[in-house]
Amino acid sequence: MKSGTNWLGSLLSSHETISVVGEFHWGELVSTFNQNLEQLPIYQTEPAKEKARNNFEEMIRQTIENFAEPNATLIGERTPSTIIPIPIRNVPHISIIRDGRDVLVSRAFHLYNNPGTTRLFDRIPAMKETLQNFRADPWHFQKHPEDLLCHHEMFRQSLGFWNEHLQRDELAVSLYPKLKIKFVRYEDLHRNVSKERNQLFKFLDVDPKKAAKIHGHLKPGFKEERPSAFLRKGSVGDWTNYFTKQNKEWFKEYAGNQLIQYDYETSFDW
């Protein structure tokens, strides 16, 4: 979440043979199905499991295809979830990675713009006060940057989601060594979107020359920030505008090693 999945989907869909069609959030459904395969007596033979799995995957394929462009020969979706649980086996997966500090900033704006998507505002009364300030002035956090990430539970929970995605997608690589997986960094897309897009097309075995030019919404970021928009800013390093000394300490405590592991920092001295 908040790592450029919408942008990445649009970049892929700029190819004349590709259609990436939105978010279906199969995770919970697939997890329940996998549990049933292992636990229900009717699925105890391997042929029964395989038949059920094939039928289940075909349902997913057909559902996604119903929303795709009719001329597309390669169809995908862009739910911002971990690779595991896998909805459809033996198909390419792309995992986008972004600096967790920028993810925290982007997710915080998302929560304040969509408070109904979380229970944090019920659990943390002080967040309701911050929400009222933001509603009264959409530029509140630009004027008072220390307010955006001041609530510890929200900070810790958001960082936990980022951490989980990194760990589970790395786990997918080790559990499924034959699964076709490509990792792409949000920052690399910003740095050279044309080059990175071409590499993604090659990963998907399509001709990069059959893609549209990169312009408009396909370009990195936005010319002007829109604090109340779903696609707010799309920048790299925005965390430096909002992180306080306390925020840095929290991040280093919970995920400082991950920043080093993924080459966002070389030490804890940042």
Query: What is the SS3 string spanning the chain?
Result: CCCCHHHHHHHHHCECCEEECCCCCCHHHHHHHHHHHHHCHHHCCHHHHHHHHHHHHHHHHHHHHCCCCCCCCEEECCCCCCCCCCCCCCCCEEEEECCHHHHHHHHHHHHHHCHHHCCHHHHCHHHHHHHHHHHHCCCHHHHCHHHCCCCHHHHHHHHHHHHHHHHHHHHHHHHCCCCCEEEEEHHHHHHCHHHHHHHHHHHCCCCHHHECCCCHHHCCCCCCCCCCCCCCCCCCCHHHHCCCHHHHHHHHHHHHHHHHHCCCCCCCCC
Residue 189 is predicted with a pLDDT of: 96
Residue 153 is predicted with a pLDDT of: 96
Architecture of domain 5-22+67-261: 3-Layer(aba) Sandwich (3.40)
Give the domain ranges of the chain: 5-22+67-261
Residue 268 is predicted with a pLDDT of: 97
Give, rounded to a whole angstrom, the gap between the first and last alpha carbons of the chain: 24
Q: Sign of the C-alpha dihedral, residues 207, 211, 214, 219?
A: negative
| Residue listed under structure tokens 């349902």 | 59
Residue 234 is predicted with a pLDDT of: 84
| Per-residue pLDDT tens digits of the chain, which is 270 residues long | 889 999 999 999 999 999 999 999 999 999 999 999 999 999 999 999 999 999 999 999 999 999 999 999 999 999 999 999 999 999 999 999 999 999 999 999 999 999 999 999 999 999 999 999 999 999 999 999 999 999 999 999 999 999 999 999 999 999 999 999 999 999 999 999 999 999 999 999 999 999 999 999 899 988 788 888 877 888 899 999 999 999 999 999 999 999 999 999 999 999
Instruction: At 195, list the tokens.
Output: 């080059």
Instruction: At 68, list the tokens.
Output: 């795709």
Residue 2 is predicted with a pLDDT of: 87
Residue 221 is predicted with a pLDDT of: 82
Instruction: Tell me how far apart the alpha carbons of residues 23 and 64 are, in angstroms, rounded to a whole number.
Output: 10
What residues contact 127, with CB distance under 8 A and at least 6 apart?
120, 121, 151, 154
